[in-house]
Amino acid sequence: MVNTIKSHKNSKFKENPEKILPIVTIESITDNSEPVLAEKEHVNGNVSFQELQYISKIVKHYQPKTIFEIGTFDGRTTLNMSLNAPGAEIFTLDLPKKEIFKTRYRVKTGDLTFIDKQQSGIRFIGTESEKRIAQIYADSAQFDYSKYENSIDLIFIDGSHTYDYVISDTKIAMKLLRNKKGVIIWHDYGWYEVIKAINEFYQEGGVFADIKNVEGTSLAFLHIG
């Protein structure tokens, strides 16, 4: 299926965008197997424990050969994705601290705390999984993804939560998918600008008409093909 993505540059914000994605249970998109979990401790900036379980279940169910994560933070989600797809190669991109004020688009004040840290991926550093995880330090809107295009099976988007970044990261994700098929997961479908951006993709239809909100979480899920 050929998908065309409209320009979002002139979109205006509604004061209180409502969540409009259909809700889906985790059981309906995965199986009954239990995921492997590590580094369960939650800190501010992490996905919730339930979200960690669900992301891990999705990864375990679909068994991607390659995963691309936008937004490494401390690497808790990265590590757990790797444990549930033990044969996967993982690429995880994070904005380096020194680039905070050199981004293409505006970064939310609330995101700055998670960027201003000593090291990305500390949760998987020193583990067996680290051997399969490649860290990338760049602005997700300015990085050259050409070598990764048409080669990724699962993409997790949890970078900057501004409207422009969610739009940009989603467009990039569509280019990364192998043969335009695979899984995209977005985090924080609950933040004002994330809701706005994902709602617009959903309303465009095409492949985006299948985006769902995973019940009880701020995860948006799309399986293409």
Q: Is residue 216 included in any domain, yes or no?
A: yes
Q: Is residue 60 included in any domain, yes or no?
A: yes
For residues 197-225, average pLDDT: 98
Predicted local distance difference test score (pLDDT) of residue 184: 99
Q: Is residue 16 included in any domain, yes or no?
A: no
Q: Is residue 48 included in any domain, yes or no?
A: yes
Predicted local distance difference test score (pLDDT) of residue 112: 62
For residues 217-225, average pLDDT: 98
Range of the domain at 56: 23-224
Domains held by the chain: number: 1
Predicted local distance difference test score (pLDDT) of residue 115: 66
User: What is the average pLDDT value for the chain, to the nearest integer?
Assistant: 91
Predicted local distance difference test score (pLDDT) of residue 97: 79
Q: Is residue 4 included in any domain, yes or no?
A: no
Measured between alpha carbons, how far is 158 from 118 in angstroms, rounded to an integer? 19
Predicted confidence (pLDDT) at residue 77 exceeds the cutoff of 80? yes
For residues 142-159, average pLDDT: 98
78-126 pLDDT, tens per residue? 999 999 999 999 999 999 877 777 889 888 666 666 766 678 999 999 9
Q: Is residue 140 included in any domain, yes or no?
A: yes
CATH code assigned at 93: 3.40.50.150
